[in-house]
Amino acid sequence: MKYASLKKSDLNDWLKHLQKKAKLYAPRKKENLFVFRPVKEVEDVCLEYIPTILPPKKYYFPQKEKLLKFSSQPFKTAKAIEKFDEFILFGVHTCDIAGIQCMDVAFRDAPEDPNYLNRKDKMTIIGIECLKYCDEYANCTSMGNHVPRGGYDLMMVDIGEKFIIHINSEKGERLVTKLDYIKEASEADMNALERVREAKKKIFKEEFTAALPKVYDAFDKRFASDVWKDVGRRCVACGNCTAVCPTCYCFDTADDMELSLNEGIRYRIWNSCQMDDFAKVAGGEDFRKGRDGRQRHRYYRKFKYPVDKYNRYFCTGCGRCTRTCMADISLIETVNSLLKEEAL
């Protein structure tokens, strides 16, 4: 079976089924926004949502993750986590799936990061395709992530009364078979899917004023642009943009001693290139002073450096950095300003 169909009225039954298979995480409402949370009541799952405050990266790259257990006297070290549990990310937008793909690329690049890969091995991704824009901040079309591009086990598309489910892996297939309410998609279902996709083409338009290769060129040539000075002047260095980014993975390490002052754990904790001491060395020299240089670095880590290194853009188009920015710094505006400058 390649495509299955599920009536919306059976969704909650399926969620209950998934709950039994593994730890289930899905989007739900939090005040006026949305967050991924472990599913307790399936009724709380919300599939019509704008990108969650934090991307699901918190489940495969936790905010604070144990790296090792240690004792000083006698000197002992051990892995902090022996066993990782299976989990399902449910209702993931295609932009966030692109984010997971980016993280895979970075953490698989030798030397591998086993902490990340161990979690990733236990992850099942059930995506949902967006049929309209979440809001004006997203730039998913320019990034090519407004449509599914692999990287998931199952992908749901809302065709009205039903969801069409694209089965993309054996792991995914096992979650939709032997259930009487999930059937193979009929020809009519597939036609409906086709119509939905056609309609979508009229809604999603490229948000940047030029295609990605031009964006890359603009970044390549505009390192010294005044655009960065302007962004730096406005930045308050709150670090929101990097925390909410699905492809920001910088971290710091720290030791937490128990009260014995002998045993403890070493963990890693999200860190950000926007922080004051991020690039400062012991001798006191700060190699990336100033908010302009730090903001520029953040942008280059989406549109330039990973393209050189991995042949992949690390912006997913989710729009979170713009949505969360205290100072109204817009990614679309920044990129377009750069393109405009480059065109002059």
**Which stretch in 12-20, 131-139, 149-157, 299-307 sits in contact with another protein by CB under 8 A?**
299-307
> Is 106 an interacting residue with respect to another protein (CB under 8 A)?
yes
Q: Which of 141, 240, 247, 334 binds another protein (CB under 8 A)?
A: 240
Say how far apart CA 329 and CA 295 lie, in whole Å.
10
**Touching another protein, residues 14-43 (CB under 8 A):** 30-33, 35
> Is 328 an interacting residue with respect to another protein (CB under 8 A)?
yes
> Is 273 an interacting residue with respect to another protein (CB under 8 A)?
yes
Say how far apart CA 296 and CA 223 lie, in whole Å.
8
- Contact criterion met (CB below 8 Å) for 153 and 122: no
> Is 135 an interacting residue with respect to another protein (CB under 8 A)?
no
- Contact criterion met (CB below 8 Å) for 152 and 168: yes
**Longest Cα separation, the chain:** 69
Q: How far is the CB of 131 from another protein (least distance, A)?
A: 25
Residue type, 120: K
Say how far apart CA 14 and CA 181 lie, in whole Å.
8
**Touching another protein, residues 60-99 (CB under 8 A):** 63-64, 67-68, 70-72, 75, 77-79
**CB closer to another protein out of 87 and 219:** 219
> Is 295 an interacting residue with respect to another protein (CB under 8 A)?
no
**Which stretch in 118-126, 141-149, 153-161, 259-267 sits in contact with another protein by CB under 8 A?**
259-267
**Touching another protein, residues 148-177 (CB under 8 A):** none
> Is 309 an interacting residue with respect to another protein (CB under 8 A)?
yes
> Is 312 an interacting residue with respect to another protein (CB under 8 A)?
no
- Contact criterion met (CB below 8 Å) for 228 and 338: no
> Is 107 an interacting residue with respect to another protein (CB under 8 A)?
yes
Q: Residue 76 forms beta bridges with which residues?
A: 71
- 3 sits in the region (left: phi over 0; alpha: psi -120 to 50; else beta) called beta
Backbone angles phi, psi at 253, to 5 degrees: -115, 150
Backbone angles phi, psi at 182, to 5 degrees: -110, 120
Q: How far is the CB of 204 from another protein (least distance, A)?
A: 26
The two three-digit tokens of residue 236, written as one number? 């308050």
Say how far apart CA 164 and CA 173 lie, in whole Å.
13
Residue 44: CB atoms within 10 A of its CB come to: 13
> Is 143 an interacting residue with respect to another protein (CB under 8 A)?
no
**Which stretch in 38-46, 131-139, 204-212, 269-277 sits in contact with another protein by CB under 8 A?**
269-277
> Is 11 an interacting residue with respect to another protein (CB under 8 A)?
no
> Is 147 an interacting residue with respect to another protein (CB under 8 A)?
no
**CB closer to another protein out of 165 and 321:** 321
> Is 49 an interacting residue with respect to another protein (CB under 8 A)?
no
**3 state SS of 238:** coil
Length of the chain: 344
